[in-house]
Structure 1
Amino acid sequence: MKTREYYVAAAAGLIGGNVSSFVKWGTEIPFPPRTPDRPIPPLEMLDSLGINANQLTYVYSEHMVNYGSALIHQSFSIFFAIFYCLTALREPLIYSIFRPGNALEALICLGATAGF
């Protein structure tokens, strides 16, 4: 494999991971994945690592936003999208199943696999 292909795959994973993260985040507004009394998994992970998640907040338009949770959410999507793209270069089976014809199809494929 050429080095350039790895850079292209990593860039596609970065773009696809961001897009899929925002799509997933946007669908959680009308369709919450959990009841209000259940804890949010990224915040629980930060608490288990000894990071006080309540300090990782800011106020935007009179809404409190926890950027610690948002960073964990975004990082997971980007990491797994890049991992998928780089693995698809090395594993012919993955590449042959999801062989994109152009950049738009690649982003749709990544959004479908990494974000949901």
Structure 2
Amino acid sequence: MKMINWKAAVIAGGVAGVVSGLVKLGWENVLPPRTPKRDQTNPPQKLLQQFGVPEKVTHATYTYSEQQLPWVSYLIHFGFSTSFAVFYSVAGHFVPFIRLGQGTLFGLGVWGACHLGVMPAMGTVPAPVDQPVEEHFSEALGHMAWMWTNHIISDELYRQLTSK
């Protein structure tokens, strides 16, 4: 069994998840996955509401530079990003095939599982056939860029944390 430095792998994945979360937010500013109407309640907000969290909480904002920003959505966004990044950072030591394509194939798999499978099944987002092509395009490529960022950062940080 391969020995890994668990602490370094978790730290590397956590840091990578925060940075890749920022990358994914930037990606969605360039290629927005949803129409403004569909984004009035975004998937993280809808998911929380499905679990009984009231809209006044799911749509809570903070003000920065005279703009209202959805801090609750950001908590879910970065929680998702760091969770998957830590998983990738640790699991990649034991299941190397998830690292194929420097994480891009894993990112594509996460997109498919979440955006084409789990979230439509839960009613969080429309069925895949009812989602616009632009949404599939943005989300698929965005998830590939997101996980590639996780791969690059977590690998390098793990290497630095474990070099003697």
Normalising to structure 1: TM-score of the pair? 0.74
* Deviation readout 1:83-115 (Å, 9 max, x if unpaired): 0111112224446875xxxxxxxxx975166xx
Matches within 5 A, 1:13-28: 13-28=13-28
Name whichever structure is richer in helix by fraction. Answer: 2
Matches within 5 A, 1:79-98: 79-94=83-98, 98=102
Unaligned ranges ≥5, structure 2: 103-145, 152-164
* Structure 2 residue 71 is matched with structure 1 residue 67: yes
Normalising to structure 2: TM-score of the pair? 0.54
Give the drift of 1:25. 0.5
Q: Which runs of 4+ in 1 moved over 2 A?
A: 52-56, 91-98
Q: Which amino acid is 1:111 matched to? A: T
Alpha-carbon distance between aligned partners in 1 of 2:101 and 2:92, rounded to the nearest angstrom: 10
Contact 2:61/2:71 (<8 A) preserved: yes
Match among 106, 111, 114 for residue 149 of structure 2 = 111
Unaligned ranges ≥5, structure 1: 99-107
* Deviation readout 1:5-51 (Å, 9 max, x if unpaired): 11111111011111110001012112211111113100101111211
Kindly tell me: are residues 22 and 87 of structure 1, through their superposed partners in 2, closer, same or farther at Cα, counting changes over 3 Å?
same
